[in-house]
Structure 1
Amino acid sequence: MPTELVSAINWRSLTITLLLSKFYKMVLLNRVAKTLRLAVGVRKNMLHTSCRLNMPMVPIVIEQTGRGERAYDIYSRLLKERIICLMGSIDDDIASLVVAQLLFLQSESSKKPIHMYINSPGGSVTAGLGIYDTMQYVLPPIATWCVGQAASAASLLLAAGEPGMRHSLPNSRIMVHQPSGGVSGQATDIQIHAEEILYLKRTVNLLYAKHTNQALETIESAMERDRFMNPEQAKEFGLIDTVLEQPPLWSR
Protein backbone atom coordinates (compact mmCIF):
# COMPACT_ATOMS: atom_id res chain seq x y z
CA MET A 1 0.00 0.00 0.00
CA PRO A 2 1.42 3.40 -0.90
CA THR A 3 2.85 5.42 1.98
CA GLU A 4 0.64 8.44 1.17
CA LEU A 5 -2.52 6.30 1.43
CA VAL A 6 -1.43 4.80 4.77
CA SER A 7 -0.75 8.29 6.16
CA ALA A 8 -4.16 9.53 4.99
CA ILE A 9 -5.92 6.57 6.65
CA ASN A 10 -4.02 7.12 9.92
CA TRP A 11 -4.89 10.85 9.96
CA ARG A 12 -8.56 10.02 9.28
CA SER A 13 -8.61 7.44 12.11
CA LEU A 14 -6.97 9.91 14.45
CA THR A 15 -9.51 12.61 13.51
CA ILE A 16 -12.45 10.23 14.08
CA THR A 17 -10.97 9.16 17.43
CA LEU A 18 -10.60 12.79 18.55
CA LEU A 19 -14.15 13.62 17.47
CA LEU A 20 -15.54 10.61 19.31
CA SER A 21 -13.50 11.56 22.37
CA LYS A 22 -14.95 15.11 22.32
CA PHE A 23 -18.46 13.73 21.80
CA TYR A 24 -18.24 11.34 24.76
CA LYS A 25 -16.73 14.10 26.90
CA MET A 26 -19.67 16.40 26.06
CA VAL A 27 -22.15 13.62 26.84
CA LEU A 28 -20.42 12.97 30.16
CA LEU A 29 -20.37 16.68 31.07
CA ASN A 30 -24.05 17.03 30.19
CA ARG A 31 -24.92 14.06 32.39
CA VAL A 32 -22.89 15.49 35.28
CA ALA A 33 -24.52 18.92 34.88
CA LYS A 34 -27.99 17.35 34.79
CA THR A 35 -27.23 15.35 37.92
CA LEU A 36 -26.00 18.49 39.70
CA ARG A 37 -29.11 20.43 38.66
CA LEU A 38 -31.32 17.68 40.01
CA ALA A 39 -29.36 17.57 43.25
CA VAL A 40 -29.58 21.34 43.67
CA GLY A 41 -33.29 21.25 42.90
CA VAL A 42 -33.87 18.56 45.50
CA ARG A 43 -31.80 20.53 48.01
CA LYS A 44 -33.81 23.70 47.34
CA ASN A 45 -37.06 21.81 47.76
CA MET A 46 -35.79 20.36 51.03
CA LEU A 47 -34.82 23.85 52.24
CA HIS A 48 -38.15 25.33 51.24
CA THR A 49 -40.01 22.48 52.91
CA SER A 50 -37.88 22.88 56.03
CA CYS A 51 -38.59 26.63 56.15
CA ARG A 52 -42.30 26.03 55.77
CA LEU A 53 -42.25 23.45 58.56
CA ASN A 54 -40.27 25.66 60.95
CA MET A 55 -42.19 28.88 60.32
CA PRO A 56 -45.58 29.36 61.97
CA MET A 57 -48.52 29.79 59.64
CA VAL A 58 -49.56 33.44 59.35
CA PRO A 59 -53.28 33.90 58.64
CA ILE A 60 -54.33 36.10 55.73
CA VAL A 61 -57.21 38.55 56.09
CA ILE A 62 -59.17 39.56 52.98
CA GLU A 63 -60.89 42.93 52.98
CA GLN A 64 -63.52 44.20 50.58
CA THR A 65 -62.79 47.74 49.41
CA GLY A 66 -64.20 50.02 46.74
CA ARG A 67 -61.38 48.88 44.49
CA GLY A 68 -61.99 45.19 45.08
CA GLU A 69 -60.44 42.67 47.43
CA ARG A 70 -57.25 43.33 49.34
CA ALA A 71 -55.29 40.69 51.26
CA TYR A 72 -53.24 41.38 54.39
CA ASP A 73 -51.29 39.10 56.64
CA ILE A 74 -52.85 39.32 60.10
CA TYR A 75 -50.01 41.34 61.63
CA SER A 76 -50.16 43.99 58.90
CA ARG A 77 -53.91 44.23 59.41
CA LEU A 78 -53.45 44.67 63.15
CA LEU A 79 -50.77 47.30 62.53
CA LYS A 80 -53.34 49.22 60.51
CA GLU A 81 -55.39 49.34 63.74
CA ARG A 82 -52.27 50.57 65.63
CA ILE A 83 -51.68 47.20 67.30
CA ILE A 84 -48.15 45.81 67.70
CA CYS A 85 -47.57 42.17 68.69
CA LEU A 86 -44.33 41.49 70.57
CA MET A 87 -44.25 37.70 70.64
CA GLY A 88 -41.31 35.43 71.42
CA SER A 89 -37.78 36.08 72.62
CA ILE A 90 -36.48 39.63 72.38
CA ASP A 91 -33.43 39.87 70.14
CA ASP A 92 -32.02 42.46 67.74
CA ASP A 93 -34.27 41.31 64.88
CA ILE A 94 -37.46 41.55 66.96
CA ALA A 95 -36.32 44.90 68.38
CA SER A 96 -35.75 46.27 64.87
CA LEU A 97 -39.26 45.26 63.81
CA VAL A 98 -40.93 46.74 66.90
CA VAL A 99 -38.94 49.99 66.71
CA ALA A 100 -39.81 50.38 63.03
CA GLN A 101 -43.51 49.84 63.76
CA LEU A 102 -43.47 52.38 66.60
CA LEU A 103 -41.83 55.00 64.41
CA PHE A 104 -44.25 54.30 61.57
CA LEU A 105 -47.31 54.62 63.81
CA GLN A 106 -45.98 57.90 65.20
CA SER A 107 -45.66 59.24 61.65
CA GLU A 108 -49.28 58.24 61.04
CA SER A 109 -50.57 60.02 64.16
CA SER A 110 -48.80 61.47 67.17
CA LYS A 111 -51.98 61.47 69.30
CA LYS A 112 -53.81 58.19 68.72
CA PRO A 113 -52.75 55.48 71.20
CA ILE A 114 -50.65 52.48 70.22
CA HIS A 115 -51.52 49.06 71.66
CA MET A 116 -48.61 46.67 72.31
CA TYR A 117 -49.50 43.04 73.11
CA ILE A 118 -46.65 41.20 74.84
CA ASN A 119 -46.09 37.46 75.16
CA SER A 120 -42.37 37.04 75.69
CA PRO A 121 -39.89 35.23 77.96
CA GLY A 122 -37.51 38.18 77.63
CA GLY A 123 -34.13 38.05 75.94
CA SER A 124 -31.35 40.49 75.14
CA VAL A 125 -31.08 43.40 77.59
CA THR A 126 -29.75 45.81 74.97
CA ALA A 127 -32.45 44.86 72.46
CA GLY A 128 -35.08 45.34 75.16
CA LEU A 129 -33.65 48.73 76.10
CA GLY A 130 -33.75 49.73 72.43
CA ILE A 131 -37.50 49.05 72.37
CA TYR A 132 -37.93 50.76 75.76
CA ASP A 133 -36.14 53.93 74.63
CA THR A 134 -38.25 54.10 71.48
CA MET A 135 -41.45 53.67 73.53
CA GLN A 136 -40.40 56.68 75.61
CA TYR A 137 -39.29 58.62 72.53
CA VAL A 138 -42.46 58.44 70.44
CA LEU A 139 -45.29 60.86 71.18
CA PRO A 140 -48.41 58.61 71.06
CA PRO A 141 -49.46 57.03 74.37
CA ILE A 142 -48.66 53.31 74.40
CA ALA A 143 -51.04 50.85 76.05
CA THR A 144 -49.34 47.58 77.01
CA TRP A 145 -51.08 44.23 77.39
CA CYS A 146 -49.60 41.04 78.85
CA VAL A 147 -50.92 37.95 77.10
CA GLY A 148 -49.39 34.70 78.35
CA GLN A 149 -46.20 35.94 79.96
CA ALA A 150 -43.97 38.98 80.28
CA ALA A 151 -40.67 37.89 81.80
CA SER A 152 -37.29 39.54 82.20
CA ALA A 153 -36.88 42.40 79.69
CA ALA A 154 -40.49 41.93 78.55
CA SER A 155 -41.76 42.84 82.03
CA LEU A 156 -39.92 46.17 81.79
CA LEU A 157 -41.64 46.89 78.47
CA LEU A 158 -44.97 45.99 80.06
CA ALA A 159 -44.32 48.45 82.90
CA ALA A 160 -43.11 51.13 80.46
CA GLY A 161 -46.58 51.69 78.99
CA GLU A 162 -48.60 54.84 79.57
CA PRO A 163 -49.67 55.10 83.24
CA GLY A 164 -53.25 53.87 83.56
CA MET A 165 -52.96 51.92 80.28
CA ARG A 166 -50.85 48.93 81.42
CA HIS A 167 -52.93 45.76 81.41
CA SER A 168 -52.70 42.02 81.90
CA LEU A 169 -55.12 39.23 81.14
CA PRO A 170 -56.09 37.23 84.24
CA ASN A 171 -54.00 34.09 83.71
CA SER A 172 -50.78 35.73 82.54
CA ARG A 173 -47.48 35.44 84.40
CA ILE A 174 -45.05 38.28 85.00
CA MET A 175 -41.45 37.75 86.11
CA VAL A 176 -38.65 40.15 87.05
CA HIS A 177 -35.00 39.39 87.73
CA GLN A 178 -31.55 40.89 87.38
CA PRO A 179 -29.63 40.75 84.07
CA SER A 180 -27.42 37.72 83.53
CA GLY A 181 -24.63 36.79 81.17
CA GLY A 182 -21.43 34.83 80.79
CA VAL A 183 -17.99 35.45 79.37
CA SER A 184 -14.68 33.64 79.10
CA GLY A 185 -11.20 34.89 78.38
CA GLN A 186 -8.50 36.84 80.16
CA ALA A 187 -9.11 38.09 83.69
CA THR A 188 -9.13 41.72 82.54
CA ASP A 189 -11.77 41.00 79.89
CA ILE A 190 -13.92 39.14 82.42
CA GLN A 191 -13.67 42.13 84.78
CA ILE A 192 -14.73 44.52 82.00
CA HIS A 193 -17.79 42.42 81.15
CA ALA A 194 -18.69 42.02 84.83
CA GLU A 195 -18.63 45.81 85.22
CA GLU A 196 -20.87 46.13 82.16
CA ILE A 197 -23.40 43.66 83.60
CA LEU A 198 -23.40 45.57 86.90
CA TYR A 199 -23.99 48.81 84.98
CA LEU A 200 -26.94 47.26 83.12
CA LYS A 201 -28.29 45.87 86.39
CA ARG A 202 -28.32 49.31 88.00
CA THR A 203 -29.81 50.91 84.86
CA VAL A 204 -32.64 48.37 84.72
CA ASN A 205 -33.30 48.71 88.46
CA LEU A 206 -33.63 52.49 88.12
CA LEU A 207 -36.10 52.07 85.24
CA TYR A 208 -38.24 49.63 87.25
CA ALA A 209 -38.17 52.05 90.19
CA LYS A 210 -39.32 54.86 87.90
CA HIS A 211 -42.28 52.98 86.43
CA THR A 212 -43.43 51.19 89.59
CA ASN A 213 -42.96 54.11 92.01
CA GLN A 214 -41.06 51.74 94.28
CA ALA A 215 -37.95 52.60 96.27
CA LEU A 216 -34.71 51.53 94.58
CA GLU A 217 -33.88 49.29 97.55
CA THR A 218 -37.21 47.47 97.13
CA ILE A 219 -36.52 46.90 93.43
CA GLU A 220 -32.98 45.66 94.10
CA SER A 221 -34.29 43.16 96.64
CA ALA A 222 -37.05 41.93 94.32
CA MET A 223 -34.69 41.61 91.34
CA GLU A 224 -32.03 39.62 93.18
CA ARG A 225 -33.65 36.32 92.13
CA ASP A 226 -36.38 35.29 89.69
CA ARG A 227 -39.64 36.67 91.06
CA PHE A 228 -42.82 35.36 89.46
CA MET A 229 -46.11 37.19 89.91
CA ASN A 230 -49.71 36.74 88.93
CA PRO A 231 -51.49 39.82 87.54
CA GLU A 232 -52.85 40.89 90.92
CA GLN A 233 -49.38 40.70 92.47
CA ALA A 234 -47.92 42.58 89.49
CA LYS A 235 -50.56 45.27 89.97
CA GLU A 236 -49.67 45.57 93.65
CA PHE A 237 -45.97 45.76 92.70
CA GLY A 238 -46.71 48.57 90.24
CA LEU A 239 -45.90 46.82 86.96
CA ILE A 240 -49.48 47.06 85.64
CA ASP A 241 -52.59 49.10 86.37
CA THR A 242 -55.48 46.79 85.48
CA VAL A 243 -56.31 43.10 85.22
CA LEU A 244 -58.77 42.69 82.37
CA GLU A 245 -61.04 39.97 81.09
CA GLN A 246 -62.60 42.24 78.43
CA PRO A 247 -61.26 45.29 76.56
CA PRO A 248 -61.77 48.58 78.41
CA LEU A 249 -64.43 50.93 77.09
CA TRP A 250 -61.91 53.47 75.81
CA SER A 251 -60.30 50.89 73.49
CA ARG A 252 -63.52 49.67 71.85
Structure 2
Amino acid sequence: MRYDNLSGKELGIHFAKKKKSYIKIMDIKKEFRDFSVKHLNNNGLATEQYMNAFNPTNLTPYIMEERRMNVAQMDVFSRLMMDRIIFLGTGIDDQVANIVTAQLLFLESADPNKDIQIYINSPGGSVYAGLGIYDTMQIIKPDVATICTGMAASMGAVLLVAGEKGKRSALKHSRVMIHQPSGGAQGVASDMEINLREMLKLKKELYDIIAEHSGQSYDWVEKASDRDYWMTSYEAKEMGMIDEVLEKK
Protein backbone atom coordinates (compact mmCIF):
# COMPACT_ATOMS: atom_id res chain seq x y z
CA MET A 1 0.00 0.00 0.00
CA ARG A 2 1.22 3.51 -0.82
CA TYR A 3 1.12 6.12 1.92
CA ASP A 4 2.28 9.23 0.06
CA ASN A 5 -1.27 10.09 -1.05
CA LEU A 6 -2.77 9.86 2.46
CA SER A 7 -3.29 12.77 4.80
CA GLY A 8 -1.90 12.76 8.32
CA LYS A 9 -5.31 11.91 9.74
CA GLU A 10 -5.79 9.06 7.27
CA LEU A 11 -2.34 7.68 8.11
CA GLY A 12 -3.21 7.77 11.80
CA ILE A 13 -6.44 5.85 11.23
CA HIS A 14 -4.68 3.32 9.00
CA PHE A 15 -1.95 2.53 11.51
CA ALA A 16 -4.42 2.46 14.40
CA LYS A 17 -6.29 -0.32 12.59
CA LYS A 18 -3.07 -2.20 11.93
CA LYS A 19 -1.73 -1.81 15.46
CA LYS A 20 -3.05 -5.13 16.67
CA SER A 21 -1.21 -6.99 13.91
CA TYR A 22 2.21 -5.67 14.87
CA ILE A 23 4.46 -8.03 16.74
CA LYS A 24 6.56 -6.45 19.40
CA ILE A 25 10.06 -7.89 19.44
CA MET A 26 11.21 -8.30 23.01
CA ASP A 27 14.74 -7.30 23.94
CA ILE A 28 15.40 -10.82 25.17
CA LYS A 29 18.88 -10.04 26.43
CA LYS A 30 17.70 -7.15 28.62
CA GLU A 31 14.67 -9.12 29.83
CA PHE A 32 16.87 -12.07 30.78
CA ARG A 33 19.50 -9.90 32.49
CA ASP A 34 16.83 -8.17 34.58
CA PHE A 35 15.28 -11.52 35.53
CA SER A 36 18.65 -13.05 36.43
CA VAL A 37 19.74 -10.12 38.59
CA LYS A 38 16.46 -9.08 40.23
CA HIS A 39 14.82 -12.44 40.84
CA LEU A 40 17.76 -14.84 41.19
CA ASN A 41 20.28 -12.43 42.74
CA ASN A 42 22.94 -13.27 40.16
CA ASN A 43 25.76 -10.77 39.84
CA GLY A 44 24.98 -8.32 37.02
CA LEU A 45 28.57 -8.08 35.81
CA ALA A 46 29.01 -11.86 35.83
CA THR A 47 25.77 -12.25 33.88
CA GLU A 48 26.92 -9.77 31.25
CA GLN A 49 30.34 -11.41 31.01
CA TYR A 50 28.74 -14.80 30.41
CA MET A 51 26.40 -13.38 27.79
CA ASN A 52 29.30 -11.62 26.10
CA ALA A 53 31.32 -14.84 26.10
CA PHE A 54 28.81 -16.14 23.57
CA ASN A 55 28.86 -12.83 21.76
CA PRO A 56 32.50 -12.08 20.82
CA THR A 57 33.04 -9.10 18.56
CA ASN A 58 33.21 -10.00 14.86
CA LEU A 59 32.49 -13.68 15.53
CA THR A 60 28.86 -13.91 16.61
CA PRO A 61 26.51 -13.11 13.73
CA TYR A 62 23.77 -10.56 14.20
CA ILE A 63 20.35 -11.07 12.73
CA MET A 64 18.18 -8.37 11.20
CA GLU A 65 14.61 -9.47 11.68
CA GLU A 66 11.74 -7.56 10.09
CA ARG A 67 8.13 -8.00 11.09
CA ARG A 68 5.60 -5.60 9.57
CA MET A 69 7.11 -2.16 10.11
CA ASN A 70 9.26 -3.52 12.94
CA VAL A 71 12.98 -4.19 12.52
CA ALA A 72 15.22 -5.50 15.29
CA GLN A 73 18.88 -6.44 15.50
CA MET A 74 19.96 -9.08 17.98
CA ASP A 75 22.77 -11.58 18.44
CA VAL A 76 22.02 -15.11 17.34
CA PHE A 77 22.00 -16.56 20.88
CA SER A 78 19.35 -14.09 22.05
CA ARG A 79 17.29 -14.97 18.98
CA LEU A 80 17.61 -18.67 19.80
CA MET A 81 16.46 -18.00 23.34
CA MET A 82 13.32 -16.39 21.93
CA ASP A 83 12.62 -19.83 20.48
CA ARG A 84 13.30 -21.41 23.89
CA ILE A 85 16.71 -22.78 22.89
CA ILE A 86 19.65 -22.71 25.33
CA PHE A 87 23.16 -23.35 24.00
CA LEU A 88 25.61 -24.90 26.46
CA GLY A 89 28.84 -24.76 24.49
CA THR A 90 31.50 -24.42 27.13
CA GLY A 91 32.89 -26.05 30.25
CA ILE A 92 30.58 -26.09 33.26
CA ASP A 93 31.55 -23.94 36.23
CA ASP A 94 29.61 -22.01 38.87
CA GLN A 95 29.12 -18.94 36.67
CA VAL A 96 27.91 -20.96 33.69
CA ALA A 97 25.59 -23.01 35.92
CA ASN A 98 24.07 -19.88 37.46
CA ILE A 99 23.27 -18.43 34.04
CA VAL A 100 21.91 -21.66 32.55
CA THR A 101 19.77 -22.12 35.66
CA ALA A 102 18.52 -18.56 35.28
CA GLN A 103 17.72 -19.20 31.61
CA LEU A 104 15.70 -22.29 32.51
CA LEU A 105 13.73 -20.43 35.18
CA PHE A 106 13.25 -17.43 32.90
CA LEU A 107 11.81 -19.57 30.11
CA GLU A 108 9.58 -21.40 32.59
CA SER A 109 8.21 -18.08 33.81
CA ALA A 110 7.62 -16.98 30.20
CA ASP A 111 5.60 -20.11 29.36
CA PRO A 112 5.46 -23.12 31.71
CA ASN A 113 3.74 -25.30 29.10
CA LYS A 114 6.23 -25.13 26.23
CA ASP A 115 9.31 -27.32 25.89
CA ILE A 116 12.83 -25.99 26.37
CA GLN A 117 15.72 -27.27 24.26
CA ILE A 118 19.32 -27.41 25.49
CA TYR A 119 22.01 -27.94 22.86
CA ILE A 120 25.10 -29.40 24.53
CA ASN A 121 28.68 -29.26 23.26
CA SER A 122 30.62 -29.45 26.49
CA PRO A 123 33.63 -31.29 27.95
CA GLY A 124 32.01 -31.23 31.39
CA GLY A 125 33.34 -29.46 34.44
CA SER A 126 32.32 -28.92 38.04
CA VAL A 127 30.10 -31.67 39.44
CA TYR A 128 28.47 -29.33 41.96
CA ALA A 129 27.70 -26.74 39.28
CA GLY A 130 26.38 -29.40 36.93
CA LEU A 131 24.12 -30.89 39.59
CA GLY A 132 22.61 -27.44 40.07
CA ILE A 133 21.61 -27.42 36.40
CA TYR A 134 20.41 -31.03 36.63
CA ASP A 135 18.15 -30.38 39.62
CA THR A 136 16.65 -27.32 37.94
CA MET A 137 15.91 -29.35 34.80
CA GLN A 138 14.03 -31.87 36.94
CA ILE A 139 11.88 -29.45 38.93
CA ILE A 140 10.71 -26.97 36.30
CA LYS A 141 7.39 -27.64 34.63
CA PRO A 142 8.41 -27.54 30.92
CA ASP A 143 9.93 -30.66 29.40
CA VAL A 144 13.63 -30.15 28.73
CA ALA A 145 14.85 -31.72 25.50
CA THR A 146 18.60 -32.26 25.20
CA ILE A 147 20.60 -32.41 21.98
CA CYS A 148 24.31 -33.26 21.76
CA THR A 149 26.22 -31.39 19.08
CA GLY A 150 29.87 -32.37 18.99
CA MET A 151 30.57 -33.72 22.45
CA ALA A 152 28.81 -34.31 25.75
CA ALA A 153 31.47 -35.56 28.13
CA SER A 154 31.59 -36.08 31.89
CA MET A 155 29.05 -33.70 33.46
CA GLY A 156 27.87 -32.80 29.97
CA ALA A 157 26.86 -36.45 29.46
CA VAL A 158 24.93 -36.40 32.74
CA LEU A 159 22.93 -33.38 31.56
CA LEU A 160 22.36 -35.00 28.17
CA VAL A 161 20.89 -38.21 29.61
CA ALA A 162 18.83 -36.16 32.09
CA GLY A 163 16.64 -34.68 29.37
CA GLU A 164 13.00 -35.66 29.07
CA LYS A 165 12.75 -39.31 28.01
CA GLY A 166 11.90 -39.52 24.33
CA LYS A 167 13.35 -36.05 23.74
CA ARG A 168 17.08 -36.73 24.02
CA SER A 169 19.08 -36.81 20.81
CA ALA A 170 22.52 -36.37 19.27
CA LEU A 171 23.89 -35.47 15.88
CA LYS A 172 25.34 -38.29 13.82
CA HIS A 173 29.04 -37.76 14.58
CA SER A 174 28.68 -36.63 18.18
CA ARG A 175 30.53 -38.30 21.03
CA VAL A 176 29.30 -39.04 24.54
CA MET A 177 31.68 -39.90 27.37
CA ILE A 178 31.13 -40.96 30.96
CA HIS A 179 33.72 -41.57 33.66
CA GLN A 180 34.13 -41.41 37.40
CA PRO A 181 34.52 -37.97 39.01
CA SER A 182 38.04 -36.75 39.61
CA GLY A 183 39.49 -34.32 42.10
CA GLY A 184 42.31 -33.74 44.51
CA ALA A 185 42.83 -33.12 48.18
CA GLN A 186 45.62 -31.71 50.28
CA GLY A 187 46.17 -30.81 53.88
CA VAL A 188 46.04 -32.91 57.02
CA ALA A 189 45.01 -36.55 56.80
CA SER A 190 41.61 -35.96 58.42
CA ASP A 191 40.68 -33.32 55.84
CA MET A 192 41.77 -35.62 53.04
CA GLU A 193 39.55 -38.39 54.44
CA ILE A 194 36.60 -35.98 54.51
CA ASN A 195 37.22 -35.00 50.89
CA LEU A 196 37.51 -38.65 49.87
CA ARG A 197 34.17 -39.50 51.49
CA GLU A 198 32.56 -36.59 49.66
CA MET A 199 34.09 -37.74 46.37
CA LEU A 200 32.64 -41.22 46.87
CA LYS A 201 29.20 -39.73 47.63
CA LEU A 202 29.33 -37.70 44.41
CA LYS A 203 30.41 -40.77 42.48
CA LYS A 204 27.38 -42.73 43.72
CA GLU A 205 25.02 -39.82 43.01
CA LEU A 206 26.25 -39.46 39.43
CA TYR A 207 26.06 -43.20 38.77
CA ASP A 208 22.53 -43.29 40.22
CA ILE A 209 21.48 -40.43 37.91
CA ILE A 210 22.92 -42.08 34.81
CA ALA A 211 21.41 -45.45 35.72
CA GLU A 212 17.98 -43.93 36.40
CA HIS A 213 17.75 -42.00 33.14
CA SER A 214 19.49 -44.51 30.85
CA GLY A 215 17.78 -47.63 32.15
CA GLN A 216 21.14 -49.34 32.64
CA SER A 217 22.00 -51.06 35.90
CA TYR A 218 24.12 -49.31 38.50
CA ASP A 219 26.74 -52.05 38.14
CA TRP A 220 27.00 -51.44 34.39
CA VAL A 221 27.42 -47.69 34.89
CA GLU A 222 30.05 -48.25 37.58
CA LYS A 223 32.02 -50.66 35.42
CA ALA A 224 31.79 -48.52 32.27
CA SER A 225 32.81 -45.38 34.14
CA ASP A 226 35.89 -46.88 35.75
CA ARG A 227 37.85 -45.20 32.93
CA ASP A 228 36.82 -42.84 30.15
CA TYR A 229 34.00 -44.61 28.30
CA TRP A 230 33.47 -43.06 24.87
CA MET A 231 30.35 -43.71 22.81
CA THR A 232 29.36 -42.78 19.29
CA SER A 233 25.87 -41.36 18.95
CA TYR A 234 24.60 -44.80 17.89
CA GLU A 235 26.28 -46.49 20.85
CA ALA A 236 24.86 -43.82 23.15
CA LYS A 237 21.40 -44.68 21.83
CA GLU A 238 21.98 -48.39 22.47
CA MET A 239 23.06 -47.60 26.03
CA GLY A 240 19.99 -45.45 26.69
CA MET A 241 21.91 -42.18 26.96
CA ILE A 242 19.81 -40.72 24.13
CA ASP A 243 16.62 -41.70 22.31
CA GLU A 244 17.41 -40.67 18.75
CA VAL A 245 20.29 -39.98 16.38
CA LEU A 246 19.46 -36.96 14.23
CA GLU A 247 20.14 -37.48 10.54
CA LYS A 248 19.04 -35.71 7.39
CA LYS A 249 16.13 -37.51 5.81
Q: What TM-score does the superposition give when structure 1 sets the normalisation length? A: 0.75
| Equivalent of residue 79 in structure 1, options 69, 78, 81 | 81
1:6-85 matched pairs, under 5 angstroms? 55=56, 57-66=59-68, 68-85=70-87
| Equivalent of residue 127 in structure 2, options 114, 125, 128 | 125
2:242 alignment counterpart: 240
CA distance in structure 2 between the aligned counterparts of 1:55 and 1:226, rounded to whole angstroms? 32
Number of positions where the alignment pairs a residue of Structure 1 with one of Structure 2? 196
Q: Per-residue CA shift, 1:121-142, capped at 9, x if unaligned?
A: 0000001100000000111111
Higher Rg of the two aligned structures: 1
2:161 alignment counterpart: 159
Letter in 2 for 1:213: G
| Equivalent of residue 192 in structure 1, options 191, 194, 197 | 194
Q: Per-residue CA shift, 1:155-180, capped at 9, x if unaligned?
A: 01000111111000000010000110
Letter in 1 for 2:185: V
CA distance in structure 2 between the aligned counterparts of 1:223 and 1:191, rounded to whole angstroms? 23
Letter in 2 for 1:140: P
2:205 alignment counterpart: 203
CA distance in structure 1 between the aligned counterparts of 2:69 and 2:136, rounded to whole angstroms? 36
The structure carrying a bigger helix percent of its residues is 1
Structure 2 segments unaligned to the other structure (5+ residues): 1-51
1:90 alignment counterpart: 92
Shift, 1:66, TM fit: 4.0
Letter in 1 for 2:171: L
Letter in 2 for 1:76: S
| Equivalent of residue 216 in structure 1, options 218, 221, 230 | 218
| Equivalent of residue 173 in structure 2, options 171, 174, 179 | 171
Residue 122 of structure 1: SS of its match in structure 2? coil
Shift, 1:58, TM fit: 2.0
CA RMSD of aligned residues (A): 1.8
2:17 alignment counterpart: none
Letter in 2 for 1:149: M
- 1:106 equivalent in alignment to 2:108: yes
Shift, 1:55, TM fit: 4.4
Q: Percent identity?
A: 48
Larger displacement relative to structure 2 (198-207 or 68-77): 68-77
Residue 218 of structure 1: SS of its match in structure 2? helix
Shift, 1:67, TM fit: 5.0
Letter in 1 for 2:235: Q
Residue 200 of structure 1: SS of its match in structure 2? helix
Structure 1 segments unaligned to the other structure (5+ residues): 1-50, 248-252
CA distance in structure 2 between the aligned counterparts of 1:72 and 1:179, rounded to whole angstroms? 39
CA distance in structure 2 between the aligned counterparts of 1:67 and 1:81, rounded to whole angstroms? 21
CA distance in structure 2 between the aligned counterparts of 1:141 and 1:103, rounded to whole angstroms? 12
